[in-house]
Amino acid sequence: MRVVFVTTHEARTSVGGVEQHVANLSTTLVRRGVDVWVVVPRFGRVRVTQSREDRGVHIEELTYPTRLLPVFSWLDRHAGGGIRLAFGLLAKLKYNMIGKSVALDVMTLSPDIVHQHDFLAGLRASRIMSRQVPVVLTNHTGEYLLLQRTAVGRRLLSQSLACFRFVIGPSQELTPPMSNASYIENGVDLGFFRVPGTDAREAARNALGVPSQQVVMLCPRRWAPTKGVLYLAEAIAALPVDVARRCTFIFAGSANDGYPVYCQQVYGALGRVHGTDVRVLGDLDQKQLRDVYHATDVTVIPSLLEATSLAALESLACGVPVLATNVGGLPDIVVDGKNGWLVPPADPTALATRIVSLVRSANLIAGARTVARASVEARFSWDTVAEKVLSVYEHLLDRRPSAL
């Protein structure tokens, strides 16, 4: 079986959740005997094809020339909340300009299944490819949730999703109410993300220069409006002095040029923080991030929209409880008062209140640490996820007309 993934997100060039999903699912499927190709469309000044192989996965980065490159770069820089949300939507829709070319290039690979990881960005290509092969969509992005809020948006969704033979939702919220849709969780590499021993944890904290008595809280989020980082920054600024002095807050994933205005707002809020150790580390690779998890007491996921958060899964796999907002797929992972805690979204007061209670009651964190790893081991391994996805592929191929 040959499966071609199509995605504008690729782990070598960016570090977000979709990128890690594609990288881990593709390599796990290869171990199960599937011939997997990943096609990554880009815009540039000239047509370029770059081919490489990573752990058995064939990766094709296809750059398509356009005279609109300065316009597209401007859209990417100004995407964000409010009016900038429209720029973000246009930044994704731009890929439909090359949809026909992408579809033709993918079809030269003779796929049995095409697995699309871009919804609106890949819509035109998906429609063209669906005339020849089954196209599966994993519905990663929040545009689906925004469209679902209005009657017009729901009609557009119905029309847009019609070309997909099957839709996978990585959270219940992102799973369309369709007979050919199913919730399949994201996964986590349980071998790579693991609970550190005492020596490894001490070494990780020493590497960061964090005293043993400090409570380390990590926010491994891109600085984008939907990630809610601004509300955490505002919560930190509101902490009482006794708690502020006992905390070290670490931000990873902050090197995001796509939302400069939003980043300025976050830095502005952090500028009002006094007495708290705040570290802004930029983007980290997976090994660097794992080392920070090993030094962390609580991971904070303050998102406004979220599927099955890979960061939450990674944290729990490392034995670190999660303080998260009660949105999207986060309640599917975080059980309030067990392996972490849930607070309302966009509420810095609620975040600050919960942080205060955790810092002043160390037993709460200690209790959650004891069950964190076990809470993800059964459901969220990539082997489990790949088995469910492979079942979808096999089901679709069994139903192809040529197989009847």
- Pick from 4-8, 175-179, 235-239, 377-381: least confident: 377-381
**pLDDT band at residue 401, thresholds of 50, 70 and 90?**
low
Average confidence (pLDDT) over 188-197: 96
Q: Which of 124, 115, 6 is nearest to 61 (CA)?
A: 6
Q: Is pTM, for the whole model, over 0.85?
A: no
Percentage of the chain lying above the pLDDT 70 cut: 92
Evaluated on CA atoms 192, 198, 199, 203, the torsion sign reads positive
How far apart CA 342 and CA 334 sit, in angstroms, is: 7
Vertex 34 angle, CA 316 and 109, to 5°: 120
Q: Is the pLDDT of residue 171 over 90?
A: no
DSSP state of 195: P
What pLDDT score was predicted for residue 145?
A: 81
What element of type H or E holds 44? strand 35-44
What pLDDT score was predicted for residue 403?
A: 42
End-to-end C-alpha distance for the chain, whole angstroms: 18
Residues paired with residue 340 on neighbouring β-strands, in sequence order: 322, 336
How far apart CA 22 and CA 238 sit, in angstroms, is: 38
How far apart CA 168 and CA 18 sit, in angstroms, is: 13
**pLDDT band at residue 87, thresholds of 50, 70 and 90?**
low
DSSP string spanning 75-126? HHHH--STTHHHHHHHHHHGGGGGHHHHHHHHHTT--SEEEE--SSTTHHHH
- C-alpha dihedral, 104 to 107 to 108 to 113, nearest 10°: 160
Q: Is the pLDDT of residue 69 over 90?
A: no
**pLDDT band at residue 404, thresholds of 50, 70 and 90?**
very low
Quote the longest CA-to-CA distance of the chain.
Answer: 71
What pLDDT score was predicted for residue 224?
A: 87
How far apart CA 244 and CA 215 sit, in angstroms, is: 10
What beta strand segments (E) does 139-246 contain?
166-169, 181-183, 215-220
Pairing of strands 35-44, 48-54: unpaired
Spell out the domains of the chain, with CATH numbers in brackets. 2-187+381-396 (3.40.50.2000), 198-377 (3.40.50.2000)
Mean pLDDT of the chain: 91
In single-letter form, the type of residue at position 282 comes to G
Do 324 and 342 meet the contact criterion of CB atoms below 8 Å apart?
A: yes
Token couple for 100: 């026909």
Q: Is the pLDDT of residue 255 over 80?
A: no
What pLDDT score was predicted for residue 83?
A: 44
Average confidence (pLDDT) over 81-98: 68
Q: Is the pLDDT of residue 86 over 90?
A: no
Average confidence (pLDDT) over 336-349: 98
